[in-house]
Amino acid sequence: MRASQTLFLLLWFFCIYAPTSFSTNVTYDHRALVIDGKRRVLVSGSIHYPRSTPEMWPDIIQKSKDGGLDVIETYVFWNLHEPVRGQYNFEGRADLVKFVKTVAAAGLYVHLRIGPYACAEWNYGGFPLWLHFIPGIQFRTDNKPFEEEMKRFTAKIVDMMKQENLYMSQGGPIILSQIENEYGNIDDHYGPAGKSYIRWAASMATSLDTGVPWVMCQQLDAPDPIINTCNGFYCDQFKPNSKAKPKIWTEGYTGWFLAFGDALPHRPVEDLAFAVARFFQRGGTFNNYYMYHGGTNFGRASGGPFVASSYDYDAPIDEYGIIRQPKWGHLKDLHKAIKLCEEVLTATDPTITSLGPNIEVAVYKKGALCSAFLANIATSDAKVTFNGNSYHLPAWSVSILPDCKNVVLNTAKINSASVISSFTTESLKEEVGLLDDSYSGWSWIGEPIGISKADSFSKFGLLEQINTTADRSDYLWYSLSIDLDTGTQAVLHIKSLGHALCAFINGKLAGSGKGNHEKANFKVDIPITLVAGKNTIDLLSLTVGLQNYGAFFDTWGAGITGPVILKGLKNGSSLDLSSHMWKYQIGLKGEDLGPSGGSSGQWNSQSTLPVHQPLIWYKTNFVAPSGSNPVAIDFTGMGKGEAWVNGQSIGRYWPTYASPSGGCTDSCNYRGSYQASKCLQNCGKPSQTLYHVPRSWLRPEGNTLVLFEESGGNPKQITFATKQIGSVCSHVSESHPPPVDLWSSDAESGRKVGPVLSLECPYPNQVISSIKFASFGTPQGTCGNFKHGRCSSNKALSIVQKGCIGSSSCRIELSINTFGDPCKGVAKSLAVEASCA
């Protein structure tokens, strides 16, 4: 390293971690955040630190920076950090300070959303359950016990950041903080007490003296100086509640979350880029992607209820930390295009006019500077004239003109390459055999059906589950016995607040029931056989993440609250069991013994392995898949439960809960407003079969996998899967703008650059090894399924091979001078599929 480089890095380090003498002032005005006296256009992305591992953070954050981000935004999760009142956890994935410093080390800013209500599809919205049991407490309203606890935790987080000099006012990376979260969506339910609570929260936050602005999202009446901000799929029409505040978008959804029992959400990048461009077109200067990397709901962190263990969110960086193309690349190009306009965007307000039905132009002009956004809000293409020039505007798109003349990017035209990725499976059983010739296969422990623990208790009537378990476990047993003179066939009717249950009659599984994300409560009628004499009814109620959103969501219950009725008894009579004496057990015996860590001495490896039976703990040892590619476990063949790798919970698994068969489409039309139910994928299939195992949790060999299976499955069918990159593709037409980094105005360049097809291998040290397909003319299809159209240049394949093979990246200019003209007068494009090795 040269001396100049060393000096630069030292200076940069002191700027990031320096004492307050190196502080930078952060303020705002009506146009933008003002950092060190300069208005800034800022692009941000959400990354939640506990949804990935510390070992993954640097790579994910660097990829975010490479994608054009300036800011990383994260919630702070109260129940993660204070699971027991006064007992704190800031280790491992909960190391918030380390995460913020990792962002700073990449040269990016931080928006710290303290809340401390998070929502975020996180268990109980981020609130710790002990908070619910404080006498007299009411959440998120003008209630002294709640406000005291909220202030105490918020102040603790602020003090931690101050002690590490992490606010920008101290020379650190934090430029914004958030108090509360989306309260304006539900504050009407709280009446006047809700309004006073918001005023209190604003006053409390600003009194903590962070030296940086505070925001409240979705809070139209956010008191000064709090900035109210927008969340949604589109925020171009949003206006702050004061002309002194900038237009900020705190949650621009890159996709949507996955719930067990639902299809897989997908948001096309053309629509996402359109939404972002529209936001900046209409005066926005701070945009945040929710999520930029979604990650994984490890352990019992997911909320909902029914939110899946995967929190991939169709984000630009996927659950495993791999760049998702073309979403990441197209947004990167968009960010470059917007930054070309930054000087004039922050200098003035836009002048917005109409050029026709659903055609809108915004012009930013200051002195010699001029930038324009041309938007077609219709679902059909249009041709417009602006400043004497003609422009073709594809449907539902925005063209960006940094010089008010030349188009640098159109949101519907993707220059970025696409990548096909897939999972390659390998047998878990084969890996086990490699570990030790003296032992291979699975051992097991049977979880007792019904009451088995000394701390069980009895109560008349049916108890609500969350108030009973305090969420110490997903499980609550409800048990009773009844005596009958004669045996009979009957129906057991059960009504539950959710989320699922298994019913056992005389020690045998008789049936089950479950709700879904939209409706957690359910009722079930289970045919049963009762015997003469004593009959035992054991009901195992289970939660699948606690409610995280809605007015008074903290009071929404779970469990079997009844009625529970035996129907079809002698002479057609019924017996209501709801008010009988029930015996209760919180949690499983196995949870107390600790087999999830694999260390219990009670594992049975001698007798036949029970399969397709409920309530079984399974354990095996395995060798990790070789290489460095991301790893998942495919739980096909299992029912429902939770899994631990080397003592770390990878989350709840539920591969048997399939999505409805209808509602998906083979091809998604990005044109027109997006909502979460649009562009669904994977209909009629299990919502999630693959479950992420972070590489840092694995050892080369000597690993332990432990499962608790609730409903019955065969662990011998479990396989490993590693994520592989297959083909790299691009499809560029003659009407595409050139790549953003080649853009220049006519005044700067005498030669007008045409469209260019770009390919780049996804991993370092890879080169393009082969060209699977190349066609210049009228090719059709998508990556992996390209086909020649009715005309195609016979030179295309050889030209692309010559220009790309052996290189890590290549660029091919679209030109009839290069390829010839296979069909004169017809609009042509170039489609290429390549392999890297």
Of the residues 182, 431, 591, 833, only one is catalytic, namely: 182
309 contacts 299 by C-beta, under 8 angstroms:
no
Query: Which run of H or E residues covers position 194?
Result: helix 191-207
Can you state the percent helix, strand and coil of the chain, rounding each to 5? Answer: 20, 35, 45
CA-CA distance, 149 to 134, in Å (whole number)?
10
CA-CA distance, 331 to 314, in Å (whole number)?
13
Query: Which run of H or E residues covers position 204?
Result: helix 191-207
Annotate 692-753 with three-state secondary structure.
Answer: EECHHHCCCCCEEEEEEECCCCCHHHCEEEEEEEEEEEEEEECCCCCCHHHCCCCCCCCCCC
Helices (H) and strands (E) in the chain, counts: 14, 41
SS3 343: helix
Q: How far is CA 337 from the centre of its chain?
A: 26
793 contacts 819 by C-beta, under 8 angstroms:
yes
Terminus-to-terminus CA distance in the chain, angstroms? 30
Of the residues 82, 180, 251, 360, only one is catalytic, namely: 251
What is the token pair recorded at 186?
């539900």
CA-CA distance, 293 to 424, in Å (whole number)?
23
DSSP sequence for 437-477: TT--S-EEEEPPSS--STT-EEEESPPPHHHHHTTS-SEEE
- The candidate with the shortest Cα–Cα distance to 641, out of 708, 556, 555, is 708
CA-CA distance, 284 to 248, in Å (whole number)?
6
b/e burial code for range 488-523 (CB count within 10 A of at least 16 → b): bebbbbbbbbbbbbbbbbbeebbbbbbbbbeebebe
* Half-sphere exposure at residue 585, Cβ-oriented, CA atoms within 13 angstroms: 19
What is the token pair recorded at 300?
């019992």
Tokens 């002698």, residue? 570
- The candidate with the shortest Cα–Cα distance to 181, out of 145, 157, 155, 205, is 205
Instruction: Give me the torsion for CA of 316, 518, 470, 131, rounded to 10°.
Output: 70
- The candidate with the shortest Cα–Cα distance to 168, out of 224, 104, 106, is 104
Non-local (6+) Cβ contacts of 92 within 8 A are 53, 54
Q: How far is CA 73 from the centre of its chain?
A: 13
List, in sequence order, the alpha helices (H) in 239-294.
Answer: 269-281
List, in sequence order, the alpha helices (H) in 282-367.
Answer: 327-340, 342-345
Output the CA angle 357-285-754, nearest 5 degrees: 65
Non-local (6+) Cβ contacts of 661 within 8 A are 683, 684
**What is the number of residues in the chain?**
837
Examine the residue annotation and report whether 251 is marked as an active-site residue of this protein: yes
SS3 602: coil
Q: Which residues belong to the active site? A: 182, 251
